[in-house]
Structures are given as C-alpha cells and as structure tokens.
Chains A and B, each alone.
Chain A
Amino acid sequence: MELEVQGKRAYVYTAGHAIDAKRPAVFFVHGSEQDHSAWALQSRYFAYHQRNALAPDLPGHGRSAGPPLTSIAALADWVGALADAAGFRQFALVGHSMGALLALEFAVRYPERLSKLAVLGAAVPMPVSEPLLTAAHADDHSALDMVNVWSHSPRAQLGGNTAPGMWMLGMNMRLMERQRPGVLYADFKACNEYAPAAASAARIRMPALIISGSRDRMTPAQPVGEFLAGIAQASTLTLDGTGHALMAEQPDAVLDALIDFL
C-alpha cells in the first residue's frame, strides 16, 4: 500500500492486507541500498499470523519517493511518522543493518512507542571504510561489488539457497543496482556518522533481541560495543556460519527467532 509520510509518497509492503487496527503491528525496516523485499519471507509470515506486518521502502529507496534521508535520527523520525500515518501508536520494530540503527535510535527517542525491538546485523558504531564510502560517493559499481561479497558468508558465496533456484548473490546485486544513484552513499554516510552516547542505551527498556551472524564482515558480532551491551532487556542470538545477509542466508532461523520473540 502507499501512505503519505512527511508529505511524500511511501510504499509499504503488507502482503496485500489492509490495516486491521484490532491487531498488533510489526514494522520491518531494511538496510542500506535495499527495499522491503529484504524481509519478504519474514514479513509475509507475520502478515498471515494475526499481525499487521508493515515493511516500508525507506525514502528514496524502491518505490518510495526520495530523496534518501541523511541521518539515522531523521530515519527514526520518519518511521514514527509512518506509524502515525498507518494509525499505530505502539508497535514492534525489527531492523536490519542501517534499519537496525534506525530501530535503536527510535527506541532511544521514543521508548514508549515500542512494545518490542529486534535488531539484526547491528553494530554501534557502524563505521564504513573510506574506500567503500569513496566508491559509493562516486556511484561506482565497485561499491556494490564490495558490499555483495562482504555481505555474504563464505558458504553463501557458493549458494545452496533455501529459496529453490534463487542465486543469492545475484538477487542482492540486482536489488542494489535497482536503487537510485546517491542512495548508497546517503545510507552509508548516515551509518558512518551515527554515534549515540553509550548511556542513551539505558532508555531502551522494552524487550530486545539482537541477532547476528558469526561470519558477518560488514557488522562483526564481536566485540559487542558499549551501546548494545547497555540494553537492559536484550537477549542475543548468533547464527553460526552466517554473514550480514541474515534474512537471505538463514530465513527460517531468523523467522523462528522472531516468532519466539514477538
């Protein structure tokens, strides 16, 4: 469906369902240079299991009007405005990578609005290497090549996808290539500059789940930074042998963890 958020058109995947105000809502937020389809399996499951599942395309990504927002704080506020437009005061929030930073920042800013928080592929801070930032700034395809290789575990580089017949690296590359010029740089810059005070994690008091991949080279699971360690009610799950593309590499394990948690 499409909603108007902060005066611009926003696309939100709901598995074709209309919003049902009587049911709780779960928002799924994608990472850099991605769109809602990064959450295809997980969001579809919840949409068919007594929830409103809303997986937006962030501003400037996929089908949502641009431009991309340039800070994690602005993205967090945008999700708040999206939830307002959809009619939800309180909801569960699930984010991956840049979407995880957005979710953490939202939890810091508006803790009363979240019933639960789940972050995947999260690292705080989330520095982006200079060569990658430079290539992204130039909209050079080498930036996508770097992201694609570093986002997948050594195992996933050879495939064996749970989704029959789908070549994971090809899918991720094509999805990134579909995003507009400048989006990757805006996303990476926002991630790179995000530096919350460690003490602010104390504001995150709702139940939280942190899922990471043991072979994540984009946002390594270890060491756990001071910020994530400061979330009081956090439980953690590390998926063995999995890279940054957690939802693609281990769709069932991610879904099972979210079903248990949410």
Chain B
Amino acid sequence: MAVPKSFSFDTLSLHAGQQPDPLYGARATPIYQTTSFVFKDTDQAAALFNMERAGHVYSRISNPTCAVLEERVAALEGGVGAIATASGQAALHLAIATLAGAGSHIVASRALYGGSHNLLSYTLPRFGIETTFVDPRDVDAFRVAIRPATRLVFAETLGNPGLDVLDVPRVAAVAHDAGLPLLVDSTFTTPYLMRPLELGADLVYHSATKFLGGHGVAIGGVLVDGGSFDWKASGKFPTLSQPYSGFHGMVFEEESTVAAFLLRARREGLRDFGACMSPTTAFHILQGIETLPLRMQRHIDNTRRIVAFLAAHEAVESVVYPELPSHPDHALAKQLLPKGCGAVFTFAVRGGREAGRRFIEALRLFSHLANVGDAKSLVIHPASTTHYRMDEAALRAAGIGEGTIRLSVGLEDADDLLEDLSRALHASQK
C-alpha cells in the first residue's frame, strides 16, 4: 500500500493555516485589525483566559490573521506551531527570554547578523545572560564552550555575511548531548532551501521581513518550535517543567507534551514583553509566502548567474558563495543546501574601501540600503553599516573586510542586473 501523502510545500505555501472565511467566503486571509474579541458569555471568557478553550482574547497574545501566518510557517518548517513577533529580533529575544534568565549562558556562532551580535554581546549581559561566541565551522568549539549554566546553542543556517554553512546535524548533536536545544536563524535560507528541524535543530526563527515577506513592506519575525526537544528530560528548564505562578501554577510541559515552549512563550513572553505582530503585517507577509517557492527559485537562478559573472571579473578580488569550490563549506553546502545557498552573498572589489564606495555609487538598479531578501536587488557595505558596532577583530572573525560588499539579489531580469554590475565595476576601477 502506498503511504498517503500530505500536501506538498508549494501547496502549503498557499493554503496552510487558512480556511475560507466562514462568514463571507473570502478566499484571501482577512485582516482582523482588532485589538480584542467579544466573548460569547462569561463562562467562555473565563475558559479562554484559563486555557480551557482555545481562541483569541487580545491581539497581543494572539490574532486570527497572525495565527494563519504562524500555522503556515510552522507547516512549511515541519514544526508543531509558531509565534509571530514584531521583528526577527523580537523572535530571537522571545526564544532566549523563554529559556534563559539571569545567570544563564548561551553558546553562539560568531558569524551573526550585527543586530543579533549586539543583543548577545552588549544588551543581554545587562540582564545577566552571558554569551560565548565560537567559530561556527568548528563544531568542537560549541562543545568546549558549553558550561553548566548554558541554556541554548544558537547559530545562523548561513552565517552573516560570510555564508558559513552551519553543520546543523553535528551542532545539534553537540547541543543534545549536553541536554540543550539548538536555535537557528533561518532567515537566509527559508524553509524552501533548508528545513533545519528535519536536520536536528529544535527551534527556528526568521526575520520575516526578508525572504518570507519578500517585498520589503513589513517588519516581522516568526519563531517556530519543532516539538521534539524533551524539556523535562533535560532537567535544565524549570520555566517549562516547574509550576509557573504567573499562570495558576501551570506546568507547561505537562500541559502540552510537544508544545510546552510555545505555550510559555505566548503566555509569558508575548503577554509580558509584548513584541507581537500587527495583523496587517501578518497579511503582508502571508502574501509574500504565497509565492515563496517561485521567488526563491528565481532568487537562486539570478544569484548563480551573478556569482559566476563576478567570480570571473578582473575587478573582483574574491566572491564568497558556498556553491563556489573556493568556499570553505562547499562540500557541506552540497549536502545541506542542494537547492541553493540563498541570494545574499559578499564579494570584494579590487581597490578596497574607496573602490567599494565608487562601485556602490555607480549602481542604478541595486538599491543601497540596509535590508536583504527583497524582491528588488540590494547592496550595502557591511563594515560601515550593518556591522559598524563590531571592532576590527570581530569584523575579521566574521569574515568582513574593508572592501567587502554585500549583495541581495532580487527578481529583476538577470541580464539587467549583470549590466548594472558590469558598469559599476568598471566605475570602481577608475
């Protein structure tokens, strides 16, 4: 007998989490732009507050439009559920705040988005949470850095901006051996290119602002729980395995065997920190996800042409992209990212910072701004913008040079993009 199939990725991108509106039959997901929801009666109100019934009470905690987005991303990632947040940074903070507190320690990759590096390096220590940064290519370094107080191992699926490919299965094994969950930022890869939960990660988050939304119109984040990590067996997570006086003594991992993390994150993290997503933002991001498979394939196709062009150009010193044999993670990328290594990469123009400046200013199609994952092609100089808070050593450790340029390749006609790059490279060498 053939094993019955559930719906495929492309179908889930369009449908997961949504049923046609039962009142008016609207096919598109309605925007429930409301702060709160009328109770049927006092008993239902009490039951909703006490988690005896599922439903919506107040849009900081949950909202029907956001719930469609959450369910859709969870379905695409193969998780048990998700929480939509105000930004990718809010998703990262929600994950950390749910698992860690004063005295906790995190082991993190040193190749992180500048904002994440900032949060871990400078902000969280003020709240008693310390981080040890390690080379993401050195799996043993994760093991060595783990302490008794460690509560989380954290890295990006593709490091920013050097595109270090995280060996998710091996790093997950290191984390699990120590009774710890692995959290990954999968913004650059999206579930179209990699499903980290299937590779062993326990929690995944996205800056939905980027490829998921895809159109550069809304800031948001999504945090997904894989539901596999055994919080009780670990013995390191009293926030999930001990009674919580902030919610009638609820023991989250007794309440839900597979979704304890999400329960606590929603019932404490969203309630108390409040970094929720707006329903209109959820709608915008859902529109993007509907075409995620189509867009990602086009992003990859365009990127491959541009990488090949730059790699052969005499004005280009180096190109960092894992599909190139010169990239240190080339073999791992073939194994973990067979569909492509994303559409964000860096290269160095001959002539350093000044040549880089001339290059950026000569571009016409590529927009000079601080974002990635837009439908439109983007360019930035990391050393003076996204990573400006990092000192020279940290920059070097993250693989960023003075002349490093980061491209986020969009969906334009590849020939037009190549022409733009060609002209700008010529200008850079004058």
Give A258 Cβ to nearest chain B Cβ, in Å.
12
Question: Is residue A70 contacting chain B, with contact meaning CB distance below 8 A?
Answer: no
Contact A165 B53 (CB under 8 A): no
Task: Tell me whether A165 and B74 are in contact in the complex, defined as CB-CB below 8 angstroms, given that A45-B53, A171-B81, A174-B226 are known contacts.
Answer: yes
In the complex, whether B314 has a CB less than 8 A from a CB of chain A is: no
Q: A37-B255, A37-B257 are in contact. Are A166 and B75 (CB under 8 A)?
A: no
Residue-wise, chain B 62-83 has the 8 Å CB interface mask toward A (1 for contact) of: 1110111011101100111111
B residues with CB within 8 A of A: 1, 3-7, 12, 15-19, 47, 50-56, 61-64, 66-68, 70-72, 74-75, 78-84, 226-228, 230, 243, 248-251, 254-259, 262, 266
Using Cβ atoms and an 8 Å threshold, which residues of chain B touch A227? none
Chain B residues with Cβ under 8 A from A157's Cβ? 6-7
A-B contacts, 28 of them at CB < 8 A, read: A41-B52, A44-B51, A129-B1, A146-B4, A149-B4, A150-B4, A158-B15, A160-B71, A162-B55, A164-B66, A165-B74, A165-B83, A165-B84, A165-B262, A166-B80, A166-B81, A166-B262, A167-B75, A167-B79, A167-B80, A167-B81, A169-B6, A170-B74, A171-B81, A171-B258, A174-B80, A251-B54, A255-B52
Is A16 located at the chain interface by the 8 A CB criterion?
yes
Which DSSP category, helix, strand, loop or mixed, fits chain B's interface? loop
CB-based contact B18/A16 at 8 Å: no
Q: Which of B18, B55, B67 contacts A165 (CB 8 A)?
A: B67
Question: Number of contact residues on A: which range applies?
Answer: 35 or more
**Complex interface: chain B residues within 8 A of A251 (CB):** 53-54
Contact present for A175 and B257 (CB under 8 Å): yes
Nearest residue, chain A, Cβ from B44: A252
A236-255, CB under 8 A of B: which get 1 and which 0?
A: 00000000000000011001
How far is it, in angstroms, between the C-alpha of A165 and the C-alpha of B84 when the chains are bound? 8
Contact at A48–B50, with CB atoms within 8 Å?
Answer: yes
Q: How far is the CA of A160 from the CA of B65 in the complex (A)?
A: 11
Question: Residue on B with the closest CB to A46?
Answer: B52
Residues in chain B near residue A150, CB distance under 8 A: 4
Q: Are B5 and A165 closer than 8 Å at their CB atoms? A: no
How far, in whole Å, are A37 and B232 apart by their CA atoms in the complex? Answer: 15
Known interface pairs A165-B66, A166-B262, A171-B259; A159-B4 also in contact (CB < 8 Å):
no
Chain A residues with CB under 8 Å of B226's CB are 174
- C-alpha spacing A169/B79, complex, angstroms: 9
Query: How far in angstroms is the closest Cβ of chain B from A183?
Result: 14
Q: Which residues of B contact A131 (CB under 8 A)?
A: 1
Complex interface: chain A residues within 8 A of B258 (CB): 37, 171, 174-175, 178
Q: Are A170 and B75 in contact (CB under 8 A)?
A: yes
